[in-house]
Amino acid sequence: MKKKNLLFVVGPTAVGKSSWALKWAQEAQGSIINGDSLQVFKELNIGTAKPSQEDQSKVPHFLFGHVSLTETYTAGRYRREVLSVLRSQPEPFAVVGGSGFYLKALERGMYDIPPVPDALSQQLKDELKQKGTEALYQELLMRDPEYARQIHPHDSYRILRALGVVRSFKKMSQVQKEFSERRLEEEFNVLKVGFYLEKEELRKRVRQRARKMLEQGLIEEVQSLLPQFSQHAALRSVGYKEVCHFLKVQPHKSHEELLEAIVVSTMQLAKKQKTWFKKDTHVKWFHPQKEGDQALQLVSTFLKRREHA
């Protein structure tokens, strides 16, 4: 069976991935698939820099704003939904985004974690409050040292999840070993294009984008979300958490201070994303302004070569 072609467009936030991908999709009559873990939520628009309705109307876009914050969304579900699109829609496709964990899940697969009984989940949360993260991590280290060494000792989410599995079923490391899902390249020809900017170039773009978000109503977006979703993890993400803090300390903080706080957090996120994607030696890197056309040519050559393979 002939493989379909799949393009990944990756890199740090605010680098210009979406605009380049839109240009590519218009020229190649391609489709864009979301690769951002927050842009899946319909309630999050301004702060996630979700493509505008105008841009989404120019070429087919998939998995943007199709989920509510009231739902639980996982990397495993993301993978299943992307594969459904890839298998049912005509190519070419580009998965565009900077959520490294989700993209890794798409590429390599995700093992299914057995559901933990609600009573045990609550018990573990209570133990976390009473004993602290370190004590629970030590328990995990004793019960499943192989998995414990894979995660950070302060990652309470994964510690609780692993202990729930260990106490109910078996070791998380055993769940991982039993996992046997097909890797993406077994079904698709994959090309990865990455975009980068020098630090000060990126900082300038980040500041411009943050200012535009505030002008478009980011504060009002957060205010509308707080009554129902104040405890949601999404409101602890870059941009949203700074606005939440700003709303708590008003009038002691100016809009300019809020802007700078968003810029600092965004640059920290960009640094982490750059580090993540630089580890992938298969990514071909380009400067979006200086080498954007070269990237288009590379993709065009890739698609034509694969068509005649």
CATH architecture label of 4-110+182-307: 3-Layer(aba) Sandwich (3.40)
Number of Cβ within a 10 Å radius of residue 198: 9
pLDDT (0 to 100) of residue 60: 98
> Whole-angstrom Cα distance, residue 225 to residue 223?
5
pLDDT (0 to 100) of residue 5: 94
The two tokens of residue 280 are 């992938």
In the chain, CATH 3.40.50.300 sits at 4-110+182-307
pLDDT (0 to 100) of residue 170: 77
* The one-letter amino acid at 284: K
Contacts with 207 (C-beta within 8 Å, 6 or more apart), sequence order = 259, 263
> Whole-angstrom Cα distance, residue 99 to residue 41?
14
Residue with tokens 């565009």: 96
pLDDT in tens, 33-47: 999 999 999 999 999
Dihedral of the CA atoms 68, 74, 78, 81 (nearest 10)? Answer: -70
pLDDT (0 to 100) of residue 174: 79
Q: For the chain, which residues score pLDDT lower than 70? A: 1, 111-112, 176, 178-181, 306-309
pLDDT (0 to 100) of residue 309: 56
In the chain, CATH 1.10.20.140 sits at 118-178
Contacts with 225 (C-beta within 8 Å, 6 or more apart), sequence order = 43, 44, 69, 232, 235, 240
SS (H, E, C) 114-167: CCCCHHHHHHHHHHHHHHCHHHHHHHHHHHCHHHHCCCCCCCHHHHHHHHHHHH
Does the domain spanning 118-178 belong to CATH 1.10.20.140?
A: yes
DSSP state of 113: P
pLDDT (0 to 100) of residue 93: 97
Using DSSP's 3-state secondary structure scheme, residue 53 falls into helix
The two tokens of residue 157 are 């989410």
pLDDT (0 to 100) of residue 112: 65
Alpha carbon 256 to chain centroid distance? 28
Using DSSP's 3-state secondary structure scheme, residue 74 falls into coil
Please tell me the pTM assigned to this model: 0.83
50 φ, ψ (degrees, to nearest 5): -65, 140
pLDDT in tens, 169-211: 778 877 767 665 678 888 999 999 999 999 999 999 999 999 9
